[in-house]
Amino acid sequence: MINKILNLGDSALYCDFGQEVNKEVNSKVIKYFYSIKKSNIEGITNLTPSYNKLIISFNLSITNFKKVKKEIEMLNFDYKNKIINKEIQIPVCCEDSFSLDIKRLEKKLNLKSEQILEKFFNKKYFCYMTGFIAGMPFLGDLEENMRANRLETPRVKVPKGSIGLTEQFANVYTFESPGGWNIIGNTPLNIFDSLNESEPNLINAGDTVIFKEISYNEHKNYNE
């Protein structure tokens, strides 16, 4: 259940699922997201699921906080409802010119780059949410000894396709953007396609992601 519902300004509901960040809590958020999306409650203009929160934006010309809150509380919600998720493989090249922060991570984590990459590739990731920039997936969880903070000074430009690590999460920069995550590689795969309006995101919340290491040549000659 939602722990509490607050207002975020006059045009959004802030649904709080607690402080914990884990798959179970996040799966609840995602299930709520899909249920509300299907419900067609009048005036809702946007839904933003994240690790443990769901923000519901609405059009104040049509409805208000009280009305939407009541509708959400009355919503017939089925926890057994399964999330339809896919497993996606992402090819990643960790050649020097792509792994911009591997040296920094070696020092920070006190691990050799081979160890970092081995831990990184040997894992299945869960997509908690997408956003910040269009289509960017937030993937978890990295092992405890793989967790590093953001760069002290964020980069003005992180190249498109960069794979970043921060805290317990990995992400993919879907296009060139400012950013502060520790970059360890690059994928030639297009993760966000704005021309595909019905399915712009390759990875959606609830999906499973596996990273597969590829060589520089494979990256260069990659054909989707």
Which stretches of the chain bind other proteins, using CB under 8 A?
Answer: 6-12, 14, 19, 21, 33, 45-55, 57, 60-61, 64-65, 129-136, 138, 174-175, 177, 192, 194, 197, 200-201, 204-205
Closer of 140 and 185 to other proteins (Cβ): 140
Nearest to other proteins of 65, 126 (CB atom) = 65
Question: First vs last Cα of the chain: how many Å apart?
Answer: 41
Question: How far, in whole angstroms, is CA 61 from its chain's centroid?
Answer: 31
Nearer to other proteins, 94 or 138 (CB): 138
Pairing of strands 169-172, 44-49: unpaired
> What minimum distance in Å lies between the beta carbon of 70 and other proteins?
15
State the minimum distance, in angstroms, from the CB of residue 218 to other proteins: 27
CA distance 82 to 155: 39
CB closer to other proteins, 114 vs 197: 197
Minimum CB separation from other proteins for residue 65, in Å?
A: 6
> Cα–Cα distance between 188 and 162 in angstroms, integer?
9
Report the residue number, 60 or 189, with the smaller CB distance to other proteins: 60
Amino acid identity, position 17: F
Cis peptide before 141 (omega within 30 of 0): yes
Q: Which residue's entry shows tokens 């443990």?
A: 52
Asked if residues 217 and 188 have their Cβ atoms less than 8 Å apart, the reply is no
| Among the listed residues 135, 136, 173, the one whose alpha carbon sits nearest the alpha carbon of residue 157 | 173
Question: Smallest distance from the beta carbon of 179 to other proteins, in angstroms?
Answer: 10
Report in angstroms how near the CB of residue 174 gets to other proteins at its nearest: 8
